[in-house]
Structure 1
Amino acid sequence: MRNRSLLVVSIAVAGALTVSACGSRGEKKTTEDGAAGGSVKVVIGVDAPLTGKLSALGLGIKNSADLAVKKANKDKTVPGVTFELEALDDQANPSSGQQNATKLVGNTAVLGVVGPLNSGVSLTMQSVFNDAKLAQVSPANTNPQLSLGADWGKQDFKRLYASYFRTATTDVVQGKFAAQYLYNDAKKTKVFVIDDKKTYGAGLANIFLEEFKKLGGQVVGTEHINPDDKDFAAVATKVKSSGADSVYYGGEYPEGGPLSGQIKKAGATVPVFGGDGIYDDEFIKLANGQAEGDLATSVGAPVEQLDSAKAFIEGYKAAGYPEPYAAYGGYSYDAAWSIVEAVKAVVAANGGKLPTDARPKVIEALGKVSFEGATGKVSFDQYGDTTNKQLTVYQVKDGKWAAVKSGTYSG
């Protein structure tokens, strides 16, 4: 989307990493470039909404990254390095995200950051991370501008921030994939398009709208809602009067759920379709029993159906996290693991020691990582975007999200 903690021990810092001696008295201490004899502490940061209305997704991101850190330490994936997690709460607020980015940059032990959830939040963080040469890997951002630049719609692709990567595919793919499904598979020809004016929602809705019209579909109405609104009676009446056979909503579940419920209550018994921003059980709850038949796209294939995700799912359950891994769990785990792999490559290239200029080297290594993750093959293209372009359409059936089609956009 978008636009779904452990205590970090404060210790002395030298160069771009924190070093501490882990042996008993008389053992060789670590030097400032991470020489053998001790353990170098490397922190992986997390920025996500850990409280507030999107915390159901944010906590899944944090927990999944934490699981990757635990596994890396248990398996001693990077000899001589102990990973720790520092998770910060942005409450889906861009200004909070920017403050968190500054804080993470200030901790020189942080060599990579997982997050954020929201594309709008990421827009305020990218330059902070890039200026500090600190790697950022989002498991959920889908707005194309973040990697391709503001003129991506004109096919003028420009990567502005070398530090930015993501394991989630973009709205260019997601919006068009949704349009193709609605028109070709669901056989809907008259859609009413609504968005929440935010970076993620408005961008996704526009991409969907253009593709739907290109396919031959009719857009019978458009409307914008304000984030945090709860009364959608006026919009629901417009949908009912338009003759739409479907609704596409660009936004997130806190507003999407009530919107769906009120559209049905107004007498428009049509499916509400949205992106990964509504793909959460909270959407169903907030629709007050009116979500049956509604649709959503989300990145990748359902992790529960992937052989590659079995270890992640089992590990998550065994760890006893109180919250579900939610829509971005597998992608958050892979985002954190890509940072682990990058650190591993940097250490190996430096004779088994972490160099003092590790941050820019981690960014360079991230561009070359390639491994089998929880969500399948993990690697990045020249813009920092994931090479995994798969998406899935889900539908609410018997009160639960069920996968109905997986594939990629064919343009």
Structure 2
Amino acid sequence: MRQRSFIAVTAALAAGALTLTACGSRADDGGGGGSDTGNAGDTTVVIGVDAPLTGDLSALGLGIENSVDLAARTANEQGYVKDVTFEVQALDDQAQPSLGQQNASKLVADDQVVGVVGPLNSNIAEAMQKVFSEADLVQVSPANTNPALTQGVDWRTEKERPYASYFRTATTDAVQGPFAAQYVYHDAEKREVFVIDDKKTYGAGLAATFTEEFERLGGEVVGTEHINPDTKDFSAVATKVKNSGADAVYYGGEYPQAGPLSKQIKAAGARIPLIGGDGIYSAEFVKLAGSAGTGDLATSVGAPVEELPSAREFVADYRAAGYKEDYEAYGGYSYDSAWAIVEAVKKVVDANGGKLPDNPRPLITEAMQDVSFDGVTGTVSFDEFGDATNKQLTVYAVEDGDWKDVKSGTLDD
């Protein structure tokens, strides 16, 4: 693809080492995003990133940050937008909505910020959306899946877009939950499932859409439970699962809890698979669950990045750049989210005679609606709600200490 040239790691990049929350990469060479200007121009703009860069979810957050950095490097190397250099400012929300809201205010206050990638968590997006909307600052999440963020709280009966500045490259739980239910019922042939969630926006929403479709298909939910995500002792829940006679567990939540939960369910004597969404699809889940995780399942957005012809250059460039952390589940979507901002900026610059206009934020937000390009994850474009038009999902299973893809597709009507 023309926007993804091979990124050479040079000594010049090594001179740009910056701190975690500053512009730049976390590559082994210490390079700074935006510091490799290549053919880029004199006007500097910033792509903000909000993600959990420390704490339990940092594996996913750092993959997001690095992938955005790679997109900025690529745009600068190519001089993709005339007279514009892209830098990256990554802020750590520690998976806390209050910090996410503070980060949103910080990014809005910086006049150089023309768009933001993130956050990871849907409940943090809820805390950020209004801040960005009031500033006409476009936001593109690579990971949020709660349908209400784009279609309103009554999305099941009447879809209404709350914020025109919010977009996402990941599909929603209105698709992911039912997709998992169809796999569990038809492919895994499970009929009695115990459903657990972590009470957070993402987890509870995912569990609800799974349950609705599983019961519609004829499956039975033999028990439900809500866990405290701040604990790691799930022995009481594990006993309830065993006593329920369930032949599978569906968990709405993230890997820091899902790994220990899977291990403790098996230890209680229930030798049944735990199934979750993209929030558990991480190498960290496999580490936390240990051997008990074998046979567990996860759905995640899109097709496997390593198997997509469109992603080969991304994978090669990411590895060549020397980032210390893996790109994880949302790497390709993070790159595409950042590139969508680059494309929107390019539209505005081209329409203004090759110069970035004063107060470009409203124009960039407006331009985002019509952005369309061939990205890492396939064709990237947005519908009238700001949702990704790419609805593909994949089921993964833990085999031999790693995630293996077992089925890719779209939701059956």
- Fold-level similarity (TM above 0.5): yes
Which of 102, 107, 125 is the aligned partner of 2:105?
102
**SS class of match (1:288):** helix
**SS class of match (1:143):** coil
Deviations along 1:372-399, one digit per CA (max 9) or x if unpaired, are 0000100000000000000000000111
The one-letter code sitting in structure 1 at the alignment partner of 2:83 is G
Q: Name the structure 2 match of 1:7.
A: 22
Q: Name the structure 2 match of 1:142.
A: 145
Q: Name the structure 1 match of 2:382.
A: 380
Which of 224, 236, 239 is the aligned partner of 2:238?
236
Deviation of 1:228 after TM superposition, in Å, equals 1.6
Q: Name the structure 1 match of 2:312.
A: 310
Deviations along 1:178-217, one digit per CA (max 9) or x if unpaired, are 0000000100000000000000000000110010000000
Correspondence 1:132-281 to 2 at 5 A? 132-154=135-157, 156-281=158-283
Q: Name the structure 2 match of 1:42.
A: 45
Distance 1:410 1:357 in 2: 44
Q: Give yes or no for the alignment of 1:332 onto 2:334.
A: yes
Q: Contact 2:47–2:338 at 8 Å: present in 1 too?
A: yes
The one-letter code sitting in structure 2 at the alignment partner of 1:343 is V
Select the structure of larger CA radius of gyration: 1
Deviation of 1:64 after TM superposition, in Å, equals 0.1
Distance 2:45 2:75 in 1: 11
**SS class of match (2:177):** helix
Q: Unaligned stretches of 5+ in structure 2?
A: 1-19, 25-36
Deviation of 1:288 after TM superposition, in Å, equals 2.9
Deviation of 1:8 after TM superposition, in Å, equals 4.3
Distance 2:130 2:41 in 1: 34
**SS class of match (1:372):** strand
Distance 1:393 1:228 in 2: 27
Q: Contact 1:6–1:85 at 8 Å: present in 2 too?
A: no
**SS class of match (2:291):** coil
Which of 367, 372, 375 is the aligned partner of 1:365?
367
Q: Contact 2:41–2:79 at 8 Å: present in 1 too?
A: no
Q: Name the structure 1 match of 2:60.
A: 57
Q: Name the structure 2 match of 1:320.
A: 322
Distance 1:55 1:231 in 2: 22
Distance 1:6 1:279 in 2: 26
Q: Give yes or no for the alignment of 1:80 onto 2:90.
A: no
Q: Give yes or no for the alignment of 1:349 onto 2:364.
A: no
Deviation of 1:287 after TM superposition, in Å, equals 1.1
The one-letter code sitting in structure 2 at the alignment partner of 1:7 is A
Distance 2:391 2:374 in 1: 15
**SS class of match (2:246):** coil
Distance 1:171 1:73 in 2: 35
Aligned length: 380
The one-letter code sitting in structure 2 at the alignment partner of 1:215 is L
Distance 2:55 2:21 in 1: 19
Q: Give yes or no for the alignment of 1:120 onto 2:123.
A: yes
**SS class of match (2:320):** helix
Distance 1:325 1:6 in 2: 18
**SS class of match (1:381):** coil
Distance 2:49 2:70 in 1: 12
The one-letter code sitting in structure 1 at the alignment partner of 2:69 is D
Distance 1:288 1:177 in 2: 26
Distance 1:6 1:123 in 2: 22
Deviations along 1:94-141, one digit per CA (max 9) or x if unpaired, are 000000000000001000000000000000000000000000000000
**SS class of match (2:353):** coil
Distance 2:371 2:72 in 1: 17
Change (3 A) 1:218 1:43: same
Q: Name the structure 1 match of 2:284.
A: 282
Q: Contact 2:21–2:91 at 8 Å: present in 1 too?
A: no
Change (3 A) 1:67 1:240: same
**SS class of match (1:401):** strand
Q: Contact 2:348–2:360 at 8 Å: present in 1 too?
A: yes
**SS class of match (1:133):** coil
Identity %: 68
Distance 1:111 1:79 in 2: 15
Q: Contact 2:41–2:82 at 8 Å: present in 1 too?
A: no
Deviation of 1:38 after TM superposition, in Å, equals 6.3
Distance 1:96 1:289 in 2: 35
**SS class of match (2:206):** helix
Q: Unaligned stretches of 5+ in structure 1?
A: 10-21, 23-36
Deviation of 1:357 after TM superposition, in Å, equals 2.5
The one-letter code sitting in structure 2 at the alignment partner of 1:94 is P
The one-letter code sitting in structure 2 at the alignment partner of 1:126 is Q
Distance 2:286 2:222 in 1: 26
* TM-score normalized by the length of structure 1: 0.91
Distance 2:310 2:212 in 1: 35
RMSD of aligned Cα (Å): 1.3
Deviation of 1:153 after TM superposition, in Å, equals 1.9
Deviation of 1:410 after TM superposition, in Å, equals 1.2
The one-letter code sitting in structure 2 at the alignment partner of 1:79 is K
Deviation of 1:6 after TM superposition, in Å, equals 6.6
Q: Contact 1:147–1:385 at 8 Å: present in 2 too?
A: yes
